[in-house]
Amino acid sequence: MSKFNRLPVYYLALFIVMIIINFIASGDVSDVANKYDTLIQPSGYAFSIWGVIYLGLLFWIIRMLVVKNSRDKIQISLQWIPALNFVLNSIWIIVFTQEWLFASVLVIVTLWLTIIWMYLEVNRHDYHWLDRLPLSLYLGWITLAMVVNVFTWLEQMGVTFTAPFDETLVTTLTLGVVAIIIVLFTVKTRDWVIPLVALWTYIAIIAHGDIADYGNTVFYVVLFFSNFIFAIAAFSNYLVSKEHYFEYRKSLF
């Protein structure tokens, strides 16, 4: 077995460690998030997407163990980046639950960069759609989680937003910029999954109870961008279907 064929085994081992740490500390993560509650914080149900992401990543690793040939090129291209990603994910849980929030921002930004790297590397190859789907879910969620993490850190630091740039306006502008970036990225990559993850998160922000305390401005702005992202996702999906994106000649395994 070559070193590249062994890589998925290492991925799987570190993935299992990450899952164990997540399982142990999941309640503490929620406690910290609730302690430093912000306007941009999504409703609790949104975090259930982690289950889908982890199942997708597990399936992604298993495919690497089972499927050869074209998958080997992706493994060689990715090298140790997935392993680093799983380590960073575990570290983030530790530093966040310890309320080292500035450190958690640094870690999640680095984590996000490794996902970007993996996503773009897979995109460079003649990939099966299942090679990209878990990374799309992961990237979409971490992109927005990173933004929330920054706001959580600012809340811990006691940063106050004053007129005209109060918290409502800053949150609105942030959500608007993030939506534009997601749309542009979607058009470039023709990825319909990332916008749907963003839609899921934006709706969860709307559902967050504290949003009523800040009037209707943020509610309607977030709702607008949610619908906008959904429309882009549908359009992207149409383009992908039109070009027979799912009609690969490769088998599932």
Q: In the predicted model, what is the mean pLDDT of residues 96-112?
A: 96
Distance (Å) of CA 102 to CA 98, 114, 149, 150, 197: 11, 19, 9, 8, 25
Residue 161 has pLDDT above 90, yes or no: no
What is the secondary structure of 107-128 as a DSSP string? Answer: HHHHHHHHHHHHHHHHHTS---
CA atoms of 141 and 149, how far apart (whole Å) = 12
Domain contains 247: no
pLDDT reported for residue 3: 53
Amino acid (one-letter) located at 205: I
CA atoms of 117 and 130, how far apart (whole Å) = 17
Look up the domain containing 148 and give its range: 3-242
Domain contains 107: yes
Domain contains 148: yes
Domain contains 55: yes
Domain contains 249: no
Does residue 195 have a cis bond before it (omega within 30 degrees)?
Answer: no
Domain contains 248: no
- CB 54 within 8 Å of CB 19: yes
Domain contains 173: yes
Q: In the predicted model, what is the mean pLDDT of residues 211-230?
A: 66
User: In this predicted model, what pLDDT tens digit does every residue of 229-252 receive, in sequence order?
Assistant: 777 776 776 676 555 444 544 444
Handedness of CA 154, 206, 181, 94 (dihedral sign): positive
- Number of domains composing the chain: 1
Domain contains 60: yes
Residue 107 has pLDDT above 90, yes or no: yes
C-alpha torsion angle, residues 240, 234, 145, 9 (rounded to 10)? -30
User: In this predicted model, what pLDDT tens digit does every residue of 21-57 receive, in sequence order?
Assistant: 988 887 778 888 888 888 888 888 888 999 999 999 9
pLDDT reported for residue 94: 93
